[in-house]
Amino acid sequence: MSKERNKRRQTRRSKTNSPKYIFVVGGVMSGLGKGIATSSLGLLLQQRGYTVTIIKIDPYVNVDAGTMNPVEHGEVFVLDSGLECDQDMGNYERFLNQSLPSINYMTTGMVYQTVIERERQMGYKGQCVQVVPDIPNEVIGRIKRAQSENEARITLIEVGGTVGEYENLLYLEAARMMRLEAPTDTMIMLTSYLPVPSMLGEMKTKPTQHASRTLNGSGLQADFIIGRSEKPLDEVRKSKLATLCNVQPDRVVSAPDSSSIYEVPLIFEEDKLSERVLNALSLSSGSQDLAAWKRYVTNSKKDKQQVRLGIVGKYFNSGDYTVGDSYISVIEAIKHACARHNVTPQIEWLNSEEFEEEDATLMDLQMYDGIIVPGGFGSRGIEGKLKAIQIIREQKIPYLGLCYGMQLGIIEFARHVVGMANAHTTEVNPRTSDPVIDVMPEQEQIVKKGQLGGTMRLGAYSCDIASRTLTRRLYQQAHVSERHRHRYEVNNAYRTQLEEAGLVFPGHNPDWDLLEIVEIPDHPFFIGTQFHPEFLSRPLKPHPIFKGFVRAAMNR
């Protein structure tokens, strides 16, 4: 629906035009899927005709997510603007089918940095600058700027972490201040956990009651409770939570585990969430258009032919557990493409370091229908990835290299096809005789000075796509824009040598004369991209490169 039409519909339907704010806070524990709950509510409100935007607050002192280890914090998502942020921003973009601006993300580091810089410039006109109210005021200012930049009727604000943590107190304080200013326009939603301990076999509400009390201690009362649990909440639990947490009975909503994150909005609607939220905000609910989304969910849940895809990486071991969070956008992009082709992905994690061992069974890679080497940094696991890529190239297994995966594809080709045994990236070997991947001079200075935060080539850059290439057939477009996050580039000095040996560079950035895509024509599917196409894939709009990759995997 167009923004204009949306606006007209919204004005007609509500009594006032004031923007509405919904704070989503977490209770009991992290990892509940608060981001998915927020994205789902956002989608539901959007599909009822409202312009919606979603803000993520990360209570870390890091100024952005770029310096955080993906194993601990999950994928670093990149916006068009180049801001490196939390993976939830990716979920918001995927659910809302929108690219979000930088103002929609904030961290404690960012907020304090702005306040301190303003103080240094006499922005507080000689006043004493205090944590309260100056920090919450800066938070509120950012929330309102995001609302206005996105022209949002409804702004959802997800506060990272759980209530009661020291870290997010100032954000709850901001919510309290906003609520005091406009009580009917500000809503609080508590997403909390209800465990079913195996020795009891019964769903317990007490932890959520405690979370609700803790929230009360910050001067906030939840308007809604979203109860995350293994199973749906029964009427007994709902009514208990309503009475003991001081929430209207029809505002306790069930959010049981589901096999697909995209199903969550539909589950919420079983409890009429969007209607009830709009009602609580004195906005009319109008009609809802969820048909395309429903079709997507029903289709992706059906039993279909499987494609077996391997992801060769290193960011998935956390103690005794394997976590895929570091590559979440890659996984989602695969799912979107598979849904479009009517197949089910079977994704397997392949630890690149294991390929470096003496007895590594590299030939097992042939069991896969397709293999992805996603983004990464540093030298750990690199030789393992290179060994894997050699088999992939020689055995003609469909391959998609994302960023580092593209650079390594070129290094492998240079070493084994062109014959440059020492070909490498200067990221791993600064003294290599054949730096086929290298830093640009400006980046070299940055690295020397150690100014590593937020200084890579980040965000959207344009790319020209050469005709008569596989990439062009996939994109069906001569110019595209894609998101980047890397410091190293293909070294133009080696272009001719690589091309003469059969490598094709179908993507080129005209402004900086940079090679952005690589293809091996004599192969069923071998594409590497310097950018991250996974950041732009959406459920109902899968990315052309992922679509092509999955198609090739199906043909194998």
Residue numbers of the site for ligand GLN (CB under 6 A)? 375-377, 403-404, 427, 485-488
Q: Minimum Å distance from CB 268 to ligand GLN?
A: 34
Nearer to ligand GLN, 313 or 544 (CB): 313
Q: Minimum Å distance from CB 536 to ligand GLN?
A: 15
* 485, 76 Cβ separation under 8 angstroms: yes
Nearer to ligand GLN, 253 or 460 (CB): 460
To which residue do tokens 């690149």 refer? 352
Q: Minimum Å distance from CB 403 to ligand GLN?
A: 3
Segment (H or E) for 13: helix 3-13
What SS3 string covers 141-153? HHHHHHHHHCCCC
Nearer to ligand GLN, 265 or 405 (CB): 405
| Three-point CA angle 175, 211, 52, nearest 5° | 40
Q: For the chain, how big is the Rg over CA atoms in Å? A: 25
Query: In angstroms, what CA-CA distances link 285 with 46, 146, 537?
Result: 11, 24, 29
* Polymer length of the chain: 556
* 207, 27 Cβ separation under 8 angstroms: yes
Per the annotation, the verdict on 479 as an active-site residue is no
Task: Say which of 75, 403, 523, 543 is annotated catalytic.
Answer: 403
- Which pair of structure tokens corresponds to residue 529? 């991209």
Nearer to ligand GLN, 153 or 487 (CB): 487
- The whole-angstrom separation of Cα 163 and Cα 38 is 16
Nearer to ligand GLN, 214 or 326 (CB): 326
Helices (H) and strands (E) in the chain, counts: 19, 23
Q: What is the DSSP letter of 185?
A: G
Give the type of residue at 75.
E
- The whole-angstrom separation of Cα 54 and Cα 143 is 10
Q: Minimum Å distance from CB 512 to ligand GLN?
A: 14
φ and ψ at residue 267, rounded to 5 degrees: -65, -45
List of residues 6+ apart from 530 with CB closer than 8 A = 403, 406, 407, 484, 486, 489, 490, 507, 514, 515, 516, 517
Nearer to ligand GLN, 95 or 404 (CB): 404
Per the annotation, the verdict on 532 as an active-site residue is yes
* 138, 111 Cβ separation under 8 angstroms: yes
**Residue of 66, 89, 78 whose CA lies nearest to 483:** 78
Nearer to ligand GLN, 365 or 410 (CB): 410
Q: Minimum Å distance from CB 438 to ligand GLN?
A: 10
**Residue of 92, 59, 63, 62 whose CA lies nearest to 77:** 92
Q: Minimum Å distance from CB 414 to ligand GLN?
A: 16
- The whole-angstrom separation of Cα 264 and Cα 254 is 10
Task: Say which of 158, 482, 489, 534 is annotated catalytic.
Answer: 534
Task: Say which of 424, 486, 532, 543 is annotated catalytic.
Answer: 532
Q: Minimum Å distance from CB 513 to ligand GLN?
A: 17
Q: Minimum Å distance from CB 437 to ligand GLN?
A: 7
Nearer to ligand GLN, 349 or 377 (CB): 377
In terms of phi and psi (left: phi > 0; alpha: psi -120 to 50; beta: otherwise), the region of 174 is alpha
* 95, 268 Cβ separation under 8 angstroms: no
Residues assigned a catalytic role: 403, 532, 534
